[in-house]
């Protein structure tokens, strides 16, 4: 190892220690990058930091971050999640474990309108826990259901994490969004199957809604579903559908989503001035944190790479006598362990670029081992990282979802919540195993979208060629004659 590479390794260790102590992540990254960069690179580190900052500020994709965050906070402040919960509760009232199903479906649908994990867990806890406690639902299953469902927002598009992850892995956000749908709905399906199965064989765990509390008029139920579910699905289709269909970039779609959320909230007459102000302030705070971390981590990563430490780590890991899949499991295990003390922005922006060269070198071997095209290895890896981080956020003892729920449901102790989360942690591990063994869960949808886009483009080219053959003069019009200026002979 060279002296500069050793300097970069020391910088990385000091950074991890400083963050563990409690120093702010962004300022720690910037200070260490400039200090250690000056020791190893000299005054050129200041120019490097300047150009890295300018380059990051020119990244148009990051403009989608505050707009998607605003979309989520507006829908949350306007009470759209409560309306969705009520509609699904009326619809599913007769079945055993209906509240389990309502929580998971509400979380999955709302995740497509916001990627805010803390807000989803908090609102679900406020809405669902009193009814679950009153009707005798098992406390551990109920707590696990709410925390697991609330974390789906980090995985199911329009996840802000996937927007930030796209440039880091060198893949399009549209591909990552398409890849995340499979694992996201797989997890929601596993949650539902487990919860409804437990309630079916043991009705005491999740009894149906009492008959006297049900609405027996089909017209009323249909009205609530139409009012509470359909508009939100239209908003999701406008924002996400335009990205997946190739009609808009993520930045353009985020603007549509934010405006649509405001109009939808105004249509429901639920968004107050205080609520809208809170949404704007929360959006500003969250976006500032993410974007500042994006800039400082970019500077840190550039210095880390210039010192040669990234190459040394890559060469060292590739020199280990491990097959490609085993090396992948090592990387995933490290991501999982980092998910305990660190939030996702630090992992995606600081640590994922360190693992990226390793995965890039393993791409051909992994493609051959897994039976997928090399172009989709990084897309699949991004979905795998997202599921891994969601699993880490559900893992005691450092599981923020448990603390979010404990703040709003005092009747459930942290021990009860942890016991409930552990059951879903097993389901998470099952989903990770399925995603590794069957990578098509993540790669099939983006591959289909690419093939359809290529087919449409091919048809357009063929159509243009046919028109050219039929009438070449019409297909390529002659330029208009130049007009002579006044007074010219």
Is residue 47 classed exposed, middle or buried when 0-12, 13-18 and 19+ CB atoms within 10 A define those classes? Answer: exposed
Torsion angle of alpha carbons 74, 77, 80, 81, nearest 10°? Answer: 110
Q: What is the number of residues in the chain?
A: 489
Count CB atoms within 10 A of the CB of residue 234. 13
3-state secondary structure 439-455: CHHHHHHHHHHHHHHHH
Count CB atoms within 10 A of the CB of residue 452. 12
Is residue 67 classed exposed, middle or buried when 0-12, 13-18 and 19+ CB atoms within 10 A define those classes? Answer: buried
Q: How confident is the model at residue 459, as a pLDDT?
A: 66
Q: Are 227 and 87 in contact (CB under 8 A)?
A: yes
Q: How confident is the model at residue 239, as a pLDDT?
A: 85
Q: How confident is the model at residue 486, as a pLDDT?
A: 45
Give the count of domains, the chain: 1
Model confidence, pTM: 0.84
In a domain, 185, yes or no: yes
Q: Where are the alpha helices (DSSP H) in 93-210?
A: 98-111, 117-134, 139-150, 160-169, 173-201
* Domain carrying residue 243: 61-288
Tokens of 164: 């930030």
In a domain, 393, yes or no: no
In a domain, 460, yes or no: no
- Integer-rounded Cα radius of gyration of the chain: 26
Residues in the chain with pLDDT values less than 70: 1, 115-119, 397-398, 457-489
CA distance 136 to 124: 17
In a domain, 442, yes or no: no
In a domain, 299, yes or no: no
Q: Are 76 and 121 in contact (CB under 8 A)?
A: no
In a domain, 258, yes or no: yes
In a domain, 174, yes or no: yes
Is the CA virtual torsion 16, 159, 175, 182 positive or negative? positive
Count CB atoms within 10 A of the CB of residue 339. 24
DSSP 240: I
CA distance 70 to 241: 18
Is residue 463 classed exposed, middle or buried when 0-12, 13-18 and 19+ CB atoms within 10 A define those classes? Answer: exposed
Q: Are 257 and 239 in contact (CB under 8 A)?
A: yes
In a domain, 5, yes or no: no
Secondary structure (DSSP) of 312-361: HHHHHHHTSS--HHHHHHHHHHHHHHHTTTS-HHHIIIIIHHHHHHHHHH
């Amino acid at each position: 190892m060279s002296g500069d590479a050793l300097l970069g390794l020391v910088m990385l260790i000091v950074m991890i220690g400083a963050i563990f102590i409690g120093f702010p992540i962004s300022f720690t990254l910037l200070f260490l990058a400039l200090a250690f960069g000056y020791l190893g690179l000299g005054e050129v580190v200041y120019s490097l930091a300047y150009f890295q900052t300018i380059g990051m500020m020119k990244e148009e994709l990051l403009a989608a971050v505050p707009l998607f965050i605003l979309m989520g906070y507006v829908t949350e402040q306007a009470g759209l999640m409560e309306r969705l919960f009520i509609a699904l509760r009326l619809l599913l009232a007769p079945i055993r474990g209906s509240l389990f199903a309502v929580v998971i479906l509400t979380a999955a649908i709302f995740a497509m309108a916001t990627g805010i994990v803390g807000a989803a867990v908090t609102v679900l806890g406020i809405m669902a826990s009193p009814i679950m406690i009153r009707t005798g639902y098992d406390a551990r299953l109920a707590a696990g259901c709410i925390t697991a469902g609330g974390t789906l927002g980090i995985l199911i598009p329009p996840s802000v994490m996937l927007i930030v992850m796209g440039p880091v892995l060198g893949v399009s956000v549209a591909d990552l969004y398409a890849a995340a749908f499979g694992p996201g709905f797989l997890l929601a399906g596993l949650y539902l199957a487990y919860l409804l199965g437990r309630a079916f064989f043991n009705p005491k765990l999740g009894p149906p809604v009492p008959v006297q509390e049900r609405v027996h008029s089909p017209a009323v139920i249909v009205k609530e579903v139409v009012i509470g579910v359909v508009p939100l699905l239209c908003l999701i289709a406008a924002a996400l559908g335009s990205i997946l269909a190739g009609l808009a970039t993520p930045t353009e779609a985020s603007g549509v989503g934010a405006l649509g959320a405001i109009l939808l909230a105004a249509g429901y007459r639920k968004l107050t001035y205080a609520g809208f102000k809170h949404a704007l302030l929360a959006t500003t705070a969250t976006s500032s944190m993410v974007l500042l971390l994006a800039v400082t981590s970019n500077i840190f990563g550039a210095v880390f790479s210039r010192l040669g430490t990234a190459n040394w780590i890559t060469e060292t890991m590739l020199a280990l006598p491990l097959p490609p899949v085993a090396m992948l499991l090592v990387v995933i295990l490290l991501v999982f362990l980092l998910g305990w003390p660190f939030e996702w922005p630090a992992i995606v922006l600081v640590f994922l670029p360190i693992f990226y060269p390793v995965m890039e070198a393993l791409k051909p071997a992994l493609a051959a081992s897994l039976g997928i095209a090399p172009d989709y290895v990084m897309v699949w890896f991004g979905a795998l990282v997202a599921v891994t981080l969601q699993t880490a956020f559900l893992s005691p003892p450092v599981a923020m979802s448990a603390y979010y729920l404990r703040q709003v449901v005092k009747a459930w102790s942290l021990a009860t919540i942890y016991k409930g989360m552990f059951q879903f942690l097993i389901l998470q591990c099952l989903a990770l195993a399925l995603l590794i063994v069957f990578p098509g869960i993540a790669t099939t949808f983006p591959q289909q979208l690419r093939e359809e886009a290529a087919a449409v483009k091919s048809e357009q080219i063929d159509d243009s060629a046919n028109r050219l053959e039929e009438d070449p003069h019409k297909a390529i019009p002659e330029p208009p004659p130049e007009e002579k200026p006044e007074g010219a002979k």
